[in-house]
Amino acid sequence: MTLAVAVTGTDTGVGKTVVASTIAATFRARGARVGVFKPVETGVPAGTEPADSRLLKLASGCEDPLDVICPYALPDAVAPIVAASIVGRKVDVSQLDEALARVAADRDVVVIEGAGGWLVPFADQVTFATLCVRWNLDIVVVAANRLGVLNHASLTVRAIEPAGLRVRGVVLTTVYEREPNVAESTNAAQLARMLPGHKIVSFPFLSDPAHIPTLVEVGNNSGLLSLLGDK
């Protein structure tokens, strides 16, 4: 495994899955062997497949079973520790270790998507931050380009850095299909001044985030892979 990157967010619903899937799909289109991993997905109704994990699998082209890509699919759309507790379960970190080892085997790139934000709890004394340190992952931060993002993105980056992990950059996702307002037009430049040394990439609004050719096009044209060493 030559590259292992975690995609975290400033909040839930900021576009982590779309960004993670775009990274996976673009690397795959360039000939890389790509694995994907989402340790816990919440908000998965009983008897259904985890939708975010399914998109990651589709984007990567991998053949790993969904229950390996996502070891814990839980019904309630709340923090993983709470969602697991509601159904009488606990997230077992050793099980996550084993599943990650499977998806990483013989892969050039592995993309790991978190749940919610950096400090969302998965189990007692275990947050997404804990897992990223345990697995020594580089980090991509996804933040919705809207009023408040300067604070949210800066807080997240500054929470990650003391853990000794490399922040590859911040992806500002376009969450509204309309002309940008003043905040949305200026956030990227201002964030670059607030986070010197960190790359900031703007990610467009996608009407169909499950259309893999569009993800590849965005991945190639947005500069997203420049965060991961591609020129």
What's the average model confidence in pLDDT over 155-179? 95
User: How far, CA to CA in Å, does 73 sit from each of 124, 128, 194?
Assistant: 18, 16, 37
Query: Rounded to whole angstroms, how far apart are CA atoms 199 and 98?
Result: 32
Longest dimension (CA), the chain: 47
**Has residue 231 been placed in a domain?**
no
* C-beta separation of 113 from 140 below 8 A: no
**Has residue 37 been placed in a domain?**
yes
The C-alpha angle with vertex 44 and arms to 42 and 48, in degrees rounded to 5, equals 155
Catalytic residues: 38
pLDDT of the residue at 2 = 79
Residue-averaged pLDDT of the chain: 96
**Has residue 20 been placed in a domain?**
yes
What total of structural domains would you count in the chain? Answer: 1
Output the domain CATH number for residue 189: 3.40.50.300
Please tell me the pTM assigned to this model: 0.96
- Helices then strands (H, E): number in the chain? 9, 10
* Share above pLDDT 70 across residues of the chain, in percent, rounded to a whole number: 99
User: pLDDT tens-digit profile of 45-80?
Assistant: 999 999 999 999 999 999 999 999 999 999 999 999
Rg (CA), the chain: 17
